[in-house]
Structure 1
């Protein structure tokens, strides 16, 4: 499409977000590069999902800046997000994808081809004409991933993509995330699941009480956490903080 340059890196400088008189994010500075899979970890209430929404542009920071390498154009965005509870349109699985592609400005001749490929990639071809809202929770999450993948995003934000899924469905989502990464899309993900983080992460952003305490390679984080809070989190002491 002739985009000038790539979106990444994404630079956050002093990002603060407050709501209802409460500071949810405080002074976060980080640089998110292309390539490595970035997982945002932290205990409940750390601000993980809010940080992801600020990065994606759904929320504006109260203070500080969020800056892509090049501007992301409204209407034909080069980044996508899949939520913990994906929104399904009252349409078939197929139409959920083709309608999203239409809104994104994809030419009609390309929509069906992309939808077919995306459903095949997530193992839902047989359910293409099923109503999206009657699919199982795991199938809906796979459809949400297919819908996002069909957009061919440069960056894909995933908010707790395996929350509430059984082990089989979780394994399917693991596989899909890996395939999207292998296809060249930058993955940025939040999760409470340390097993998923170890499986998917190349780097970790560790949040606690709205502050970024660590941005470090995943292997180092899991073997030699630099902060006492991160060590406590890995030991389970902060999981329900």
Structure 2
């Protein structure tokens, strides 16, 4: 049996210079390989902090976080950081920083751009691209690394409807297939997705499990069909029920 992708036991996270902001409190969570987990909750509920903690960008203040060694994780932010280079060079540098020999990065970068239908923009300055194009480039940059786990923080929140559909379609494609080995062939291992979103329709389309956070606490952890069963959710977690009602108005 494979170990879980992530296991958190009583994790707490404090933020701020004096660590006076309690961002996460007593988080117990286990995410298995191949799961598609949505994090939902109001702004400030702890979704982004939890994603950053899973990726190792945020240190825990207490508790335990366990992840398998050598697990390749890609994280995408709502507004991806673009370097002052071409779209192609942005992907090349990402590959090179992960240990891919520079002479191999050009072909891999072009293949990634073709995968997101951006090959004609390969030499365009990445910072001159539209928001939707930058998010597609960020997805291509991550896909080129063949990650086992995708962590996405509101990946379509700042995009127009057309760009949202394009990016969501790519997310679905990239995470629906299994992991690939160094040659690009299927490895037989499933891909894991953990993402935050306020778009409940997107949660229904992409997730098979929903976690509801409020005030840094995990209040509900349910299969997607149970989370969107209004009567069941009302009885299991009234706070989550009110959140869903509010987001659905």
- TM-score under structure 2 length normalisation: 0.88
Other-structure match for 1:233: 243
Distance (Å, rounded) in 1 between the aligned partners of 2:45 and 2:36: 20
Unaligned residue ranges in structure 2 (runs of 5+): 179-190
User: How many equivalent residue pairs?
Assistant: 230
Other-structure match for 1:204: 210
State which drifts further: 6-15 or 181-190. Answer: 6-15
Q: 1:181 to 1:237 in 2, by over 3 A?
A: closer
1:173 aligns with one of 154, 167, 177: 167
Distance (Å, rounded) in 1 between the aligned partners of 2:226 and 2:220: 11
CA RMSD of aligned residues (A): 1.8
Whether contact under 8 Å (2:4, 2:30) holds in the other structure is no
1:32 and 2:31 matched: yes
Unaligned residue ranges in structure 1 (runs of 5+): none
Note the C-alpha offset of 1:217: 0.8
Other-structure match for 1:144: 138
Whether contact under 8 Å (2:200, 2:247) holds in the other structure is no
Other-structure match for 1:95: 89
Q: How does 1:39-50 map to 2 (within 5 A)?
A: 39-50=38-49
Other-structure match for 1:192: 198
Whether contact under 8 Å (1:102, 1:108) holds in the other structure is yes
1:222 aligns with one of 228, 240, 245: 228
Q: How does 1:12-161 map to 2 (within 5 A)?
A: 12-20=8-16, 21-68=20-67, 70-72=68-70, 78-161=72-155
Q: Deviations over 1:89-136 (max 9, x none)?
A: 000000000111001001334322321221112111110110000000
Whether contact under 8 Å (1:7, 1:154) holds in the other structure is no
Equivalent residue of 2:35, what SS?
A: coil
Q: 1:201 to 1:237 in 2, by over 3 A?
A: closer
Q: Deviations over 1:37-77 (max 9, x none)?
A: 11111111100000100010001111111101x223xxxx6
Distance (Å, rounded) in 1 between the aligned partners of 2:104 and 2:224: 38
Equivalent residue of 2:88, what SS?
A: helix
Q: Deviations over 1:132-171 (max 9, x none)?
A: 0000011001101110111111101100000111110000
Distance (Å, rounded) in 2 between the aligned partners of 1:162 and 1:8: 27
Equivalent residue of 2:142, what SS?
A: helix
Whether contact under 8 Å (1:17, 1:26) holds in the other structure is yes
Whether contact under 8 Å (1:41, 1:206) holds in the other structure is yes
Q: How does 1:3-18 map to 2 (within 5 A)?
A: 8-18=4-14
Distance (Å, rounded) in 1 between the aligned partners of 2:156 and 2:110: 24
Equivalent residue of 1:85, what SS?
A: coil
Distance (Å, rounded) in 2 between the aligned partners of 1:238 and 1:208: 18
Whether contact under 8 Å (2:39, 2:196) holds in the other structure is yes
